[in-house]
A and B are shown apart, each in its own frame.
Chain A
Amino acid sequence: MASDSDSDEDFVTYGTPLEPLEEDEPLKKPVPLHDQTVKDEKGRYKRFHGAFTGGFSAGYFNTVGSKEGWAPSAFVSSRQQKAEKHHARPEDFMDEEDFSEHGIAPREITTSQEFSSSRRDEAGEKARAISAQAALIPGDTLLEELIAPARSSIGVELLMKMGWKEGQGVGPRVKRKARRQQMDGGGKVYGCTLPPAGSEESEDDDEEFAPENVTFAPKDVTPVDFNPRLGVQGLGYRGLDPSLALLGHGTAEHIDLFKPQSETRNRLFGDTKSSSRRGGVVGQAFGVGALEDDDEDVYHRDSMSRYDTILGEEEPGDSLYGWTAPQQYTKKKVRSKDASYLGKILEGFTLAQKPLEEKTIFPPPCLPRDYRPVHHFRPSVDVSHLSGVSPALAEALRVSKGHMVKEEPQQAGRHQLDSGQRRALLGEDTLQGPSSVMELLRPEDRQRLLSFRNSSNPPSAKTSTPVSGHASQTSGKSAQVLPASSGLQQEALAAWRGIQTSSQTFKPFEKNPSKQARYELYLSRLKQGDNDALEQSLDPGMTEWERSREREEFVRASILYRPTSSSLSSRFTRAKDQEDDDSVEVSQDQEGDLDDKQSAVKMKMFGKLTRETFEWYPDKLLCKRFNVPDPYPGSGIVGLPKVKRDKFSVFNFLTVTESREAAAPPKPPESGKKSRWDVSEQKVEKKKEDPLGELLSAARNQTETKVEHTPTPALPALPASISSSDQAPGSKPEIKSSEQQSSEQKKEGDEEEEEEEEESRPPMDLFKAIFASSSDEKSSSSSEGESSDEEEEKVTKEDEGKVDSEPLNLFSIPSSSSATTTSSSATTTSSSATASSSATASSSATASSSATTSSSATASSSATASSSHQAAVSTQASEQEEEEFGPKLPPPSAALIRGGAASMCPPIKEVKTGKKSKEKKHKKKKHYKHKKEKKKKKHKKHKHKEAAEEEQGGGAGEQEGEDGQVSTDELLKRSEVTCQSIER
């Protein structure tokens, strides 16, 4: 592409371009030979006889000038008319060709000798030679030739008149210094260094006492004159000279076509050796005559050493250094070395200029005595998945991972969001209708199914309760850390016990062979019914944290991929070929969480939170046009880089069991949902924490976790295990509390409940486990959602555009503020809605959750006396929501440290927006559009203005709360602005 455009830039074209070939054009017929005619300049046909039979025909059929031939002229002489004495001139026998420019007697205007350059005119010389031959005394003109008049060309004369003298160069006079610089430092040195200025050395002395005002003419440089090679012979070829050949010199050597110098020298100085030879053409090509006696050379083999393989031996000295740069310098050195190595060097090789640098080889390090050459790869565990571990540890791990840090947030962003969150991000509506197949069934049928399923694995029902206690005892301290997973362990054990068939072929940890091995060990132990299967199969060499992580994964994986019952497995077949495209092309850097930024914007904390930086590859040509060096030279990427990412990863399924639990066991459904909420909320919070000043948050969380650790031991478990914590016997009261909270939530809005129900829909992920490709479907659907969302926005925008595009009358009507509700306000409300919902959830969870963060958490963090300017405002905002939802939140006094703003801001209006459902918003949007149309009508009919406004007012009633919020926000801003100005 770039080269194309480059060629486009060249506006200078040479020659006539060929006519562009058109594809559908039929091929032209070649012109037959007899139609190819040659005409001379007068339009007469010239016939070609062939190269050896005269070339083109001339005259009239190769005879004479006309059809009549030579017209005989009669000699008539009378008394009155004496016949003139006729002198035949050469011109009489010439035709126009001879008189033309290249003929023997050119008649056209040519440069006279006086003005011609030094190039001799061949025609004149030829004429002179002929005349000399024709002269009576041969060699008569010899004297003339010898004593040629001194004549200089007009150019030389002009130069002389301008002050030029023979031997000087042409150009402005220079000072010696400058000239030397030109010689030495001028010009770049390519490849090798220039020789030391040998010939200039002598001039240095003059330079010393050269006065300032004396200038010198530049050195005379003879221009290198290139003769174009016309033939196809090699360099230096000179044709065979028959006269030389007949002289017969050089029988010893074959006729050297490439050594003109020696020949000429011989000729010039009359080589005696060659003259003694007999004549005759001899040499390799001609064989040996019968009379030759020396025939030892018949099978002469020519060797390459007799040819010059290097150009430019005969280059003269210093004045031609542009052409043959460093000749003498290198030659001398090489020669001196060559001499000592003579004969040892292979043909085609030369000695190195510099001796090779010797590589120093260091001895290998001494191994410690107890060194074992085995390396255990630590699983690269994503830190952000952990909520149970103290943030400081997580921080340390994150730092220790070094380069992995960059990848981390994306993975988290992708895998940590569940469908509900994604939906919330995209602003989609909750799905209508039953979320699960189970809900379609009648309750008794459902019960029957459940009981049937439970009966299919009877040991679980029997063993679950006693063994859980046993397990918790045996596993010791690990049980403390995750009492939640013990229930799962039992389930896994129940599922796998006694199964001897190796039907299980799925390898969830295929990427990590050692881990897979451990997993298989675990499975085999499970099959044997070993209760301590998990603990024994784990690697003792790992850290506690890693082990707990792996424990979690193994249990989940074993439950997830539990052997299917025969009826089910018979229906599915394993995929024949490994699908190799198990990765999706995603843009390498995805934009982070929107909620996060929304809250940051709300808090006016621009900067790190709202700023994101990506690698971006500009087009090469664009850089060129902007006069900027290509930031990524040699990379073929344009735009944002794309990256292949695993679309099939275990972490996709980690939440599955929770939903299964929520649906399957006869537990109170609220608790399951509740836990689900908790988990998702924690994830969100975890994410929010990332961009904040991490040290600060780490420190803060450290203190918080220390405080909150003791009352709720179930907490520091993994995020997923929190859901299962309600199965653990120890955490009953907590469930109750969460139940209470959830019931509180229920009161607040029915829509929310709908969402929750939506949330608890289990089977998508399960299907994903079976059909691996479903994830990209999902992604496509999500993108569709996005695009539709965008379209919607565009529509609104276009509506505005339409309003805009109405020419003049549009301007006469002021737009009322209530009428112009924009998508922006919609988005802000959505953000507030999400933020507030998160606030509720988190507030309900604050009692339990150890990870408290960011927007909603800044409120709590302010308790730790963060007196930052803007955070206080933010707490204001979040406090509004707290009033609605937050039963357990830090006291407002702590939040309102900055009393100035608090006192100045008016009492907060009732904010309903927090719990506003998306449906409502949607309605609003429609309403908005509707209003727009109204507005247009208004433009046309002025009289209906009032009525329309009334309607707007009526319609605006629904969004009053929102408007109120916006206004309060603005008030807040203004108050802050005024505060700032006061402070100044």
Chain B
Amino acid sequence: MAFPQPRPQAPQIPQHLLRTIDCQQGAVRAVRFNIDGNYLLSCGSDKSLKLWSTSRGTLLKTYSGHGYEVLDADGSYDNSQICSCSSDKTVILWDVATGQVTRKLRGHAGKVNCVQFNEEATVILSGSIDGTVRCWDTRSRRYEPIQVLDEARDGISSLKVAQHELLTGSVDGRVRRYDLRMGQLHVDFISSPITCVCFSQDGQCTLSSSLDSTLRLLDKSTGEMLGEYTGHKMKGYKLDCCLSSKDTHVLSCSEDGHVYCWDLVEGSLSLKLPVGKAVVQSLSFHPTETRLLTAMEGRVQVWGADEKGSA
């Protein structure tokens, strides 16, 4: 290495509106990037799931087959499959190219709040209002889940998978982390109903937002609190939160129509992004770039670090 590394840039925040997509599918319940951030999925309340190109904002495919509004979706690592969950208590595995239902998984007793593939898309994990997380096998043709995790005493509001770990947030105010490798279940008591949980990109921390309008960054291994982020409003709705792609910032939806963005280390509010008047329902951060998706009412907005969206 003859040349020194260029000085690290100051962390950028997505603050410029690049594009607004009118999804035409009722209220957008959730918006998600795919694995590489080139596409986005929007879950509509008109029972449809739509796939868009992030860069052009064009509709690529509509997936219809749910019986009620779609609440969450996730794309597989190879972009060949999509899983989505809905208020109709089902989880559907879609074939991306054909738009056909590959599998329809029934078993939850209530509406399914969140769904996630594991890393190799061999298992779909879905968390429901019935308080269970079900692990569905995508490889075999079994229609029963591999395992049902019914430790939560109330509905599961959010769940994330990272490698061999499963993080769930429940309305009973607990964040549970199932470690498959160690065979352990770690329960962190937060007291207020959890709306969203995230792993940090480095996998060392967990972020959880709860209905007491607080985000908490906990150390994954010990459960100690590393940071607390307040200022936004999250009192009744199940809103998303996330970390930026480089773990520099913590972002959260708010009921006052803004997206709040805190510095992760300092805990200071670095940006209050005005999205609109209504509640910001969902957001998703680009896996590598400084790009943010927000969903409000029927629109999805793409935000970037500068006007051109080059960053």
Contact = CB atoms under 8 A, between A and B. Distances in A.
Decide whether A and B assemble into one complex.
yes
Given A610-B223, A621-B146, A973 B187 contact: no
Contacts of A9: 139-140
Contacts of A626: 118-119, 122-123, 163-164, 180
Interface stretch (A328-336, A460-468, A597-605, A954-962): A597-605
B205 to A, nearest CB: 12
A638 interface: yes
B225 interface: yes
A814 B296 CA distance: 13
A640 B185 contact: yes
B195 to A, nearest CB: 10
A612 B186 contact: yes
Contact of B267 (A823, A824, A977): A977
8 contacts: A597-B189, A610-B189, A621-B146, A631-B181, A797-B155, A810-B27, A811-B278, A824-B212
Contacts of B218: 606
B185 A613 contact: yes
Given A615-B183, A618-B147, A820-B235, A981 B154 contact: no
Interface stretch (A15-23, A29-37, A53-61, A801-809): A801-809
B125 to A, nearest CB: 10
A349 B111 CA distance: 69
A437 interface: no
A622 B179 CA distance: 12
A596 to B, nearest CB: 9
From A4, A604, A811, A820, name the one whose CB has the most chain B CB atoms within 10 angstroms: A811
Interface string B161-186: 00110000001110000111111111
A614 interface: yes
B177 to A, nearest CB: 9
A515 B268 CA distance: 64
Contact of B140 (A8, A604, A611, A808): A8
B75 interface: no
Interface in B203-217: 210-214, 216
A800 B234 CA distance: 13
Contacts, number: 209
B70 to A, nearest CB: 12
Given A615-B184, A626-B123, A804-B238, 13 more contacts: A5-B137, A606-B216, A607-B225, A608-B222, A616-B185, A618-B183, A625-B137, A631-B182, A794-B171, A797-B171, A807-B45, A822-B236, A970-B230
A629 interface: yes
Interface in A767-814: 786, 790, 793-794, 797-798, 800-801, 803-805, 807-808, 810-812, 814
B311 interface: no
Nearest to B268: A981
Contacts of A4: 142
Contacts of A984: 266
A639 interface: yes
Contacts of B277: 812, 814
Given A618-B180, A628-B180, A970-B230, A808 B298 contact: yes
Given A607-B223, A817-B233, A828-B192, A614 B187 contact: yes
A486 interface: no
A601 B120 contact: no
A638 B171 CA distance: 24
A974 interface: yes
Given A631-B181, A794-B129, A822 B278 contact: no
A134 B18 CA distance: 99
A606 B171 contact: no
Chain A contact-residue range equals 35 or more
A855 to B, nearest CB: 13
Interface of A: 4-5, 8-9, 591, 597-598, 600-602, 604, 606-608, 610-619, 621-623, 625-629, 631-632, 638-640, 786, 790, 793-794, 797-798, 800-801, 803-805, 807-808, 810-812, 814-815, 817, 820-825, 827-828, 831, 966, 970, 973-974, 977, 980-981, 984
Contact of B193 (A625, A821, A824, A831): A824
A218 B157 CA distance: 64
B211 to A, nearest CB: 4
Given A805-B69, A828-B191, A622 B135 contact: yes
A821 B192 CA distance: 12
Contacts of B187: 591, 611-614
Contact of A610 (B27, B120, B188, B192): B188
Nearest to A966: B212
Chain B contact-residue range equals 35 or more
A601 B118 contact: no
A222 B236 CA distance: 78
Contacts of B99: none
Given A824-B193, A828-B212, A618 B178 contact: yes
Nearest to A632: B183
Contacts of B27: 807-808, 810-811
Contacts of A619: 135, 146-147
Contacts of A831: 191
A817 B256 CA distance: 10
Contacts of A628: 164, 180-181
Contacts of B147: 618-619, 621-622, 638-639
A615 B223 CA distance: 17
Contacts of A801: 111, 129
Contact of B191 (A597, A808, A814, A977): A597
A803 B181 CA distance: 40
Nearest to B194: A824
From A622, A786, A798, A812, name the one whose CB has the most chain B CB atoms within 10 angstroms: A622
Contacts of B111: 801
Contacts of A970: 213, 230
A616 B297 contact: no
B215 to A, nearest CB: 12
B181 A811 contact: no
A615 B185 CA distance: 6
A814 B213 CA distance: 16
Contact of A822 (B120, B224, B235): B235
B236 A811 contact: no
Nearest to B276: A811
B247 to A, nearest CB: 19
Contacts of B74: none
B237 interface: yes
Nearest to B183: A631
Contact of A811 (B69, B186, B297): B297
B149 interface: yes
B22 interface: no
Contacts of B307: none
Contacts of A627: 120, 164
Q: Which 4 A-B pairs have the closest CB atoms?
A: A631-B183, A611-B223, A811-B278, A607-B224
Contacts of A631: 180-184
Contacts of B298: 808
A353 to B, nearest CB: 41
Contacts of B56: none
Interface in B104-153: 111, 118-120, 122-123, 129, 131, 135, 137, 139-142, 146-151, 153
Contacts of B72: none
B78 to A, nearest CB: 16
A78 B125 CA distance: 99
B240 interface: no
A973 B215 CA distance: 12
Contacts of B219: 607
A821 B129 CA distance: 20
Nearest to B224: A607
From B141, B173, B277, name the one whose CB has the most chain A CB atoms within 10 angstroms: B173
A622 B225 contact: no
From B118, B137, B230, B238, name the one whose CB has the most chain A CB atoms within 10 angstroms: B137
Contacts of B193: 797, 822-824
A631 B69 CA distance: 38
Given A622-B147, A808-B297, A614 B184 contact: yes
